[in-house]
Amino acid sequence: MRINATNKHVILSGCSGGGKSSLLAELKRRGFETVQEPGRRVVAVEMRGEGKALPWVDLEAFARRTIKMASFDRERMKDAKGWVFFDRGLVDAATALEHATGVAVSKTLDGQARFHQQVFLTPPWPEIYRYDGERQLDMEEGVAEYHRLLDAFERLGYDAVVVPKVGVEARADFLLESLS
């Protein structure tokens, strides 16, 4: 298979509080390009302003803003030469929109370039889950979100790879070995 820029774009997704941000930081430390979660960036902006596009206030508005930001992120990284790791992104935002409105993920993503075939999901991991002001899902809601994402990736024809519950360095090793 010929590797082009867009299929070197790798999604890290999964359960809220499952260790995606720590894994992304480890990959960045190892010299890879990374893209921070657009949803968290939208929440940060909204919390400084009127706060109308927050997922716990208006999930549809939040999802639409996140889709815009994730699309911009993807465009910004189109010329990257090596692997680029995205903390969530377009598919996650389209899944949130589907949950809020019923608009199919495939319809929202119609015309978008595909990501790398393997998508890495962090499973529910209650032992490391931490509530914070930007993450207001409880563990039960996080697990439901995880299952919606797993279903969406499978419907879109991606190979969902569940990241093992091990230390962050071992998770990064696992991910990179899976890509080689």
Give me the DSSP letters along 20-31.
Answer: HHHHHHHHHHTT
Q: What is the 3-state secondary structure (H, E, C) of 77-89?
A: CCCCCCCEEEECC
Closest Cα to residue 67, out of 51, 84, 52, 88?
88
Tens of pLDDT, residues 113-166: 899 999 999 987 656 656 556 656 666 787 888 899 999 999 999 999 999 989
**Residue range 37-61: mean pLDDT, rounded:** 86
Q: Which CATH number among 3.40.50.2020, 3.30.1360.80, 3.40.718.10, 3.40.50.300 corresponds to the domain 6-179?
A: 3.40.50.300
Distance of alpha carbon 12 from alpha carbon 109, whole angstroms: 17
pLDDT for residue 58 is more than 60: yes
Confidence of residue 101 (pLDDT cuts 50, 70, 90): very high
Confidence of residue 3 (pLDDT cuts 50, 70, 90): very low
> Are 13 and 88 contacting, i.e. CB atoms less than 8 angstroms apart?
yes
Q: What percent of the chain has pLDDT over 70?
A: 88
Name every residue whose Cβ is closer than 8 Å to that of residue 37 and which is 6 or more positions away in sequence. Answer: 20, 21, 87, 88, 89
- Six-digit token string for 129: 């889950």
pTM of the full structure = 0.87
Distance of alpha carbon 116 from alpha carbon 85, whole angstroms: 10
pLDDT attached to residue 64? 95
> What is the residue extent of each domain of the chain?
6-179
Distance of alpha carbon 94 from alpha carbon 106, whole angstroms: 8
- Six-digit token string for 135: 């993450």
Distance of alpha carbon 80 from alpha carbon 31, whole angstroms: 13
pLDDT attached to residue 5? 47
Confidence of residue 46 (pLDDT cuts 50, 70, 90): confident
